[in-house]
């Protein structure tokens, strides 16, 4: 499964703060209409409903979340588990909600889900041209470890492979706590009942 280029939501200086309350919940079939609407807005080659359904069916090896504000899905993320590694498969935020820390909250949640599964490493791919996203990932401790040539076939763009190591360490938890404190507002996380 190819990972997705992650969309950025870093605020510009002087920009209004993010939403006061964001609910993060396991993605369910009922969320797919909203997810597909966002998907079509942010990716040149959107995933199909069938692909999302097949990912959701892999409950022991995947974790997909939605971000909701006032009951409206404004973003989503996916994580794939393999041994002691977790791989970010996708993160997207509705363009109307960019730069309000929704993506940061989703990434914080994915890091914590990976830690809960005792993963030591978190990986992702990002477009070479997406410098803003790369800066956000560096805040999360990701460092470049390689290049995938022509990874994004729809644009013939290379991907940078980025990895955060030792994510189960106390130092990494302190990093996450600092990021979370800077986000502000309230994030309510609903854990899966599976």
Quote the pTM value: 0.88
Which residue is catalytic, options 64, 137, 151, 172?
Answer: 137
List pLDDT tens digits, range 114-142: 999 999 999 999 999 989 889 889 999 99
pLDDT of residue 99: 86
Q: Is-catalytic flag, 137?
A: yes
Asked if residue 3 has pLDDT above 60, the reply is: no
Give the HSE-up count for residue 117: Cα atoms under 13 Å, Cβ half-sphere.
22
pLDDT exceeds cutoff 80 at 169: yes
Residues in the chain: 194
Residue of 55, 125, 151, 152 marked catalytic: 125
- Beta strand pairing call for 121-127 and 85-93: parallel
> What are the chain's domains?
21-189 (3.40.630.30)
Find residue 161's DSSP bridge partners: 125, 146
Plot region of 71 (φ>0 → left; ψ -120 to 50 → alpha; else → beta)? left
Integer Cα distance of 31 and 23 in angstroms = 13
Is the model's pLDDT at 78 over the cut of 50?
A: yes
Angle, in degrees to the nearest 10, between helices 49-57 and 32-42: 120
Burial status of residue 193 (CB atoms within 10 A of its CB: 0-12, 13-18, 19 or more): exposed
Instruction: Name which residue leads in pLDDT, 185 or 139.
Output: 139
């Amino acid at each position: 499964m190819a990972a997705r280029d992650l969309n950025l939501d870093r605020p510009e200086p002087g920009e209004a703060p993010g939403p006061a309350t964001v609910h993060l919940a396991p993605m369910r079939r009922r969320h797919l209409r909203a997810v597909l609407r966002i998907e079509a807005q942010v990716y040149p080659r959107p995933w199909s409903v069938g692909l999302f359904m097949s990912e959701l069916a892999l409950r022991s090896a995947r974790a997909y979340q939605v971000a909701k504000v006032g009951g409206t899905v404004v973003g989503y993320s996916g994580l794939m588990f393999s041994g002691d590694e977790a791989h970010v498969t996708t993160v997207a935020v509705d363009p109307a909600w960019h730069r309000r820390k929704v993506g940061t909250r989703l990434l914080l949640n994915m890091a914590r889900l990976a830690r809960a599964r005792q993963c030591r490493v978190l990986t992702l791919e990002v477009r070479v041209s997406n410098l803003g996203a790369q800066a956000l990932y560096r805040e999360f401790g990701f460092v470049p470890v390689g290049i995938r040539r022509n990874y994004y076939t729809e644009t013939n763009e290379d991907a940078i492979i980025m990895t955060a190591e030792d994510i189960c360490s106390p130092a990494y938890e302190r990093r996450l706590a600092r990021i979370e404190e800077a986000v502000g507002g309230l994030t309510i996380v609903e854990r899966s009942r599976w």
